[in-house]
Amino acid sequence: MKKNSIIKIKKMTFFYNSIIIETGYNARKIFKKNICDKNKSSEVNGVIEVEGQITERIKKDYPRMGASSKKLADFIVENYAQVSLMTLAQLADKTGVSLATVSRFAKDMGYRNFSQFKWALNSQVENPLAIGSEISDHDTLKTVSQKVLSANIETLTETFDLMHEKDLLAARELIVRAKNLSFFGLGGSNIVAFDAYHRFLRVPLYVTYNSEYHMSLMQASKLTKDDCAIVISHTGSNKDTLNIAEVLEQKHVPMIVITSTPKSPLTTYGKICFFSISKSLQYRQKAFLSMTSQLAITECLYMLTAQYFGKKADETFDSLQSIIETRHK
């Protein structure tokens, strides 16, 4: 790609994406000097979301596990540093469970395989819990800002840990070959869907989006197997979003799903699924769930698409800019 193309893409990039690429690890080291509260996981309508470090997520999901999985979970939580250095066979032998149980456990936690699960455990060993999830009335303005930015950075780095090269490539192929790229999201996810729609207008693709539920249903009903739908839902269990996904499936539309919940009903519809870490900040018993990771995932998909189209993306962007600039003359 030409130098000027890279510059233009950088101009369009999203702020938090810059943070994860340029400052992710170092920023996390800086923030963890002064913040030492414990991460908390979120549960919405009985569904566990991907949040915080692995051992905390295991503890939260523990009541729903079977006997073998609980046996495995107990050992991992107590010996996660040791587990990060073990092979799948060694862990199975040490805990007395089957190889399939270990493999399934890693996938249930949102990872593609045991190797990636182990890599994430190793990351937890090197970077122990350091995120302040409680905002108190006594926190200074700087401390509140520090906790918010720290949670966002941690959210992005952990979301990146759950991304796979194969999935990114497959998602880009679905997107660039789609006759109609359509975005769907309700509630808070509506904001993410709209942002993605606005972003993808800058590449040479036909894109559609509607914020109203019934209009979204009609929009879904007009798509075909030659199109692609990106469906975004924080919990992955919103009934209206599932209705939209059902219509898309009936029309044989390939779906890219973005959610914080690996075991949610929505993931069963996705040809490709991306899992967004959902870091929450607690204040007066209310959890403020960040959309940062979902916005970052959609931007990653956009940047991959812009990279694919190269000069054509430049031309589309330049054309849009020239039209917008006529307003200011």
**How is residue 111 written in tokens?**
């990872």
Domain extent, residue 80, equals 54-126
CATH for 228 = 3.40.50.10490
Residues 108, 231 share a domain: no
pLDDT on residue 292? 87
Positive or negative: CA dihedral 35, 40, 41, 45: negative
147, part of any domain: no
Domain-terminating residue out of 95, 126, 157: 126
Residues lower than pLDDT 50 in the chain: 2-3, 5-51, 129-132, 285-287
Is the CB of residue 223 less than 8 Å from the CB of residue 248? yes
Model pLDDT, residue 150: 80
Residue 138 falls inside a structural domain: no
Does 179 share its domain with 65?
Answer: no
**Contact by Cβ (8 Å): 14, 296:** yes
In a domain, 203, yes or no: yes
Q: Which of 126, 154, 188 is the last residue of a domain?
A: 126
The domain total for the chain is: 2
Is 65 in the same domain as 184? no
**Is the same domain home to 170 and 289?**
yes
| Burial letters 206-238, b for 16+ CB under 10 A, else e | ebbbbeeeeebbebbeebeeebbbbbbbbbbbb
The CA–CA distances, whole Å, from 283 to 34, 50, 205, 234, 312 equal 19, 20, 42, 20, 47
Q: What does the pLDDT read at residue 156?
A: 84
- Predicted confidence at residue 328, as pLDDT, reads 66
Strand order in the sheet with 207-209: 207-209, 181-185, 228-233, 255-259, 272-275
What's the CATH code of the domain at 63?
1.10.10.10
The pLDDT, as a whole number, for residue 290 is 62
Beta-strand (E) ranges in 186-227? 207-209
Q: Is residue 259 part of a domain?
A: yes
